[in-house]
Structure 1
């Protein structure tokens, strides 16, 4: 018999709709029920592609006896962390405070006001390796709630006070010296042998690498990009990156594929360029459109790591399997080309495909690759989490627009995703976070949604030249400035009129995707470059001042803020208006302009009054011309691509426009 989750929009919640646990969705009704019954609230947070979430579900939430105990002694709430990042952020803070670590599934027990008095992550179905079973934990907590209520309330009170303090952000200034020191610290952590930073597990450091690209760093950046592209973290048959590598050499991934990773890496490799970067960008764009695109034109959140209940089964091969598909000769050649060994690099003698060197016979390689891809298509595919998350679709739009520099066909799917976000996710002028099957969900958009979607819309402005995307981006940015700003010039992650939780989350650090603060800063910087409105740049600089200490001490968690700060410290972003008749000359100017790190580039036939950066920009004697500007102060227009890089107006605060 289905529980209350049967009507949820989240695929993760729907995975639990047939559990014997009497689940509730997050909301006041669940807490009212807990008060009525006099029992605590059990909060379980996860996401659809989470391997250990599946394990705990099979072991405990599908178990009749465990479910019966939960139903009698708790009101149980299930939350999709991707749908409600605000709820996840608050209780992850509690979990790390209480245990010293976090992760998913996250398990918290709350009082009737939402204050936690217990927190943890995965619990096994029976005692294992010194860890109590989930049932033992439940029994101890129920006993404490019943027999020691004063102790429970003391713990809950202390945690509530801790959460209510919020994040203390020391104001400062990110200077050229700050950036140099942060870069030196980061490069000192570079793995000079295997690429990346630090040890295992290794996550794709997309935002940090873009910052290094803007600095012109020529060691860690290409080394890491090549290592990831050739390793097992990258799907060598179909394109797309897994979430992270469990080892320090990018060989064995945790096989789930997330939209936010692939969207960022798509853009990064496209901007990096060269033969390898262009190939990886092309294949990753193909992966996004082929495997994550929804019928409505958006992009699904993730592909699961498991198929047939086994992690990685869909992706790995043995030498015998290669020979079965390709025959003995091609099978042996493919095993060498893809680093597939008899001992294996994964479980049970299987290997994750790698491409450490370019093949000696490219035509044979492509024939073999196509045959393996066709054979793999017959395997049981991993499940897809097909909810559309606004922020991650904004990242995908921006990534596709970057890929369009090499192939214009990627603009069309980016536009369709943008239209979905505006037409479905914006309700009564307010941005909503998720939709599924074209139906918008109830969770309100958080700061990262406003920042990433606004950035995506501004990327569409640059890719299409259509002013409507500027209007839409400004709507979201103005809303964020009104409802998310903090008194110190930074930003909260939720709006002032959002649902009140035990704390108002505010985390400026980047994780696998940009923080709300860093994403909104990038959008504000671009909006200023297009419009000349000083209020946008002022807001960006004030927000960056609140993360100066984080940027200096932990640059790996501030890469996207550092990328924005690098552009501003260097006097940018450069604003480039390319105008003139369509054709090879204009195209060449556009390519040269977009090669400038962090530049904002607009292309038009002639002057436009609906986009401020294009006002008054005319061709030169009928020829396409590029106007390279800072703060709307421009050098003389140039008509030759090689002159663009040399045409950089000096930075001066006096050139700043004001509202």
Structure 2
């Protein structure tokens, strides 16, 4: 018989609906039961694409013996970390304090007052692999609860006080010493893998916020020594097994330092952030390989991860048919059978490292061990001919792969992650002059704004199968606000600026700390938890405070709104301690700080109609200019809802389009748009160094 989780919408919770464990979802029913029966709470947090979450479910939560013990001695609560990142933040901090590390599945034991007193991640059902068994852990917790409950409560109170201090996260001084970006760049140099790209060693994760920061620093400094940290990383990732060479898109991370063997789950947020990196790198370098990766990754999202209503789904699993990576791997025999021609099949296997011995558990993950140009030289053919041949082979294998059993998909739609993908898709569409991507971004934006709000107009965090629920978090508001700004930059349709401003204003009203600055992760009317976090560090996604500060800065400059600029500075000052001590870990906040410290440039293109300036608009969209804001003023457009002051007095001259450039609080004489385009095309990088 299914348990209570059968009534939930989260695919992760539904995966546990037939466990013999008497699971509760987080809510008043479970919390009241724990208090009434004076039982400790077993809180299990994971997500649907998590391989080890599946392992622990199969080994322990499907075990009748373990389930009976849990049901007798605990109130067991299952939480989807993607639905409840507020709970995940708090209790992950607890596990890290208790054990020195974290991860998922996360297993935490709480008092009836929701205070943690013991925790960990994965445990096998019985002792093994150098770990205690879950059965032993449960018995030890029960023994402590029954025989030493006073001590448990005392320790849980101390731990909760620590969590509240961590959650507050606000700097006392608010002062930021100069040179923070240089310190962060130096820290990146020290951990950069010059051979394989990326930062640190195995397991190797994409550090997307730091790639963004390096690009901005290079644009400012023209320091050629830093650019390889970006280009080597992006090149090697797109060659490795972490990239899906047949279907596009990136897996979560690589278990090795070579980007060869991924943990095969695909997350929406990773792909959004990586598309953003490749878009910026393409704008800066013009590398056609980056354009290919952008197209293939966006096409993957539109093909496999887009809801019929327009929103973007969350994740694809690592496992299919109970085996990790089975969907993605190949043998030479399979390639030969599908491609037919033995010469072509042999070349395909050589280029994509598909061997008899395999590179992953007897099978092969397609990857490029060297650039395609080098293979072309080895095979004595042209790069273009080899690429065409490989593309034909990849298409055949892709269609054959479609007949395999796909990994499971978590099809819930999260407002925050959709914001990241909308921003990336809009940027990709603008940079590549691909209207399909801009249209997809706009459709997703309209869906979230229309279908993921409550009656009061406040955002809701998650949507699945016609039902939106859960009060939104800071990330939902800030990521979506950034997405609306990106849609404005891609279309110059001011409706997106209006939506951006609405989201920013709601975030200020409900999340901003008027006393100490910065934004809380939860709203002022959110469910009361044991801590209210204020996060300045980046994790797998950028910090909400860092995104808030950057959106406030950009919107403040574009609209001439000094209060937004002041709030951006206050938010950065609230995270000053983080930037002082660990700038490498707060790339997004550092980007916002650097943006505000850099010279600004605002451009208004004035014309009689849009078609006249389309070549200039396209060239600007292809140009890497992170410090530049652009507006378009057309003679026949209606009154601007937000940009009247910026556009005032800026018109075409004798029918010829003009470009008005303002920088560092003064405006230059207008320039003929055709001349400006000519200069821009010749110089390649419009905005000049950031200073």
What TM-score do you get using the length of structure 2 for normalisation? 0.90
Residue 584 (structure 1) shift: 6.6
Indicate the residue corresponding to 1:192 in structure 2. 194
Indicate the residue corresponding to 2:425 in structure 1. 400
Indicate the residue corresponding to 1:478 in structure 2. 505
Determine if the alignment matches structure 1 residue 383 to structure 2 residue 427.
no
Using a 3 Å threshold, how does the CA distance of structure 1 residues 201 and 603 change in structure 2: closer, same or farther? farther
Indicate the residue corresponding to 1:595 in structure 2. 624
Candidates 420, 424, 442, aligned match of 1:415: 442
Residue 589 of structure 1 contacts residue 641 of structure 1 at CA under 8 Å; is this kept in 2? no
* Matching of residues 74-473 of structure 1 within 5 Å: 74-165=74-165, 166-170=167-171, 171-174=173-176, 177-216=179-218, 217-273=226-282, 274=286, 275-327=288-340, 328-354=342-368, 356-358=370-372, 360=376, 361-405=386-430, 406=432, 407-427=434-454, 428-441=456-469, 443-473=470-500
Indicate the residue corresponding to 1:641 in structure 2. 677
List, as ranges, runs of 4+ consecutive aligned residues in structure 1 with deviation greater than 6 Å. 645-652
Partner SS for 1:430: coil
**Which shifted more, 315-324 or 372-381?**
315-324
Residue 571 of structure 1 contacts residue 650 of structure 1 at CA under 8 Å; is this kept in 2? no
Residue 549 of structure 2 contacts residue 571 of structure 2 at CA under 8 Å; is this kept in 1? yes
Structure 1: distance between partners of 2:349 and 2:408: 28
Determine if the alignment matches structure 1 residue 586 to structure 2 residue 614.
yes
Partner SS for 2:471: coil
* Matching of residues 60-75 of structure 1 within 5 Å: 60-75=60-75
Indicate the residue corresponding to 2:536 in structure 1. 508
Structure 2: distance between partners of 1:509 and 1:533: 27
Residue 34 of structure 1 contacts residue 75 of structure 1 at CA under 8 Å; is this kept in 2? yes
Using a 3 Å threshold, how does the CA distance of structure 1 residues 598 and 318 change in structure 2: closer, same or farther? farther
Residue 497 (structure 1) shift: 1.7
Residue 579 (structure 1) shift: 3.2
Structure 1: distance between partners of 2:606 and 2:328: 47
Query: Deviation string for 1:44-77 (max 9, x for gaps)?
Result: 0000100000000011111112111111111110
Residue 612 of structure 2 contacts residue 657 of structure 2 at CA under 8 Å; is this kept in 1? no
Partner SS for 2:326: coil
Candidates 582, 589, 603, aligned match of 1:554: 582
Structure 1: distance between partners of 2:421 and 2:150: 50
Indicate the residue corresponding to 1:605 in structure 2. 634
Residue 628 of structure 1 contacts residue 648 of structure 1 at CA under 8 Å; is this kept in 2? no
Partner SS for 1:583: helix
Residue 447 (structure 1) shift: 0.9
5+ residue gaps in structure 1? 653-659
Indicate the residue corresponding to 1:52 in structure 2. 52
Structure 1: distance between partners of 2:471 and 2:22: 26
Residue 642 (structure 1) shift: 4.8
Structure 2: distance between partners of 1:411 and 1:252: 33
Residue 187 of structure 2 contacts residue 584 of structure 2 at CA under 8 Å; is this kept in 1? no
Structure 2: distance between partners of 1:431 and 1:472: 12
5+ residue gaps in structure 2? 219-225, 377-385
**Which shifted more, 262-271 or 71-80?**
262-271
Residue 236 of structure 1 contacts residue 353 of structure 1 at CA under 8 Å; is this kept in 2? yes
**Which shifted more, 223-232 or 75-84?**
223-232
Residue 615 (structure 1) shift: 4.0
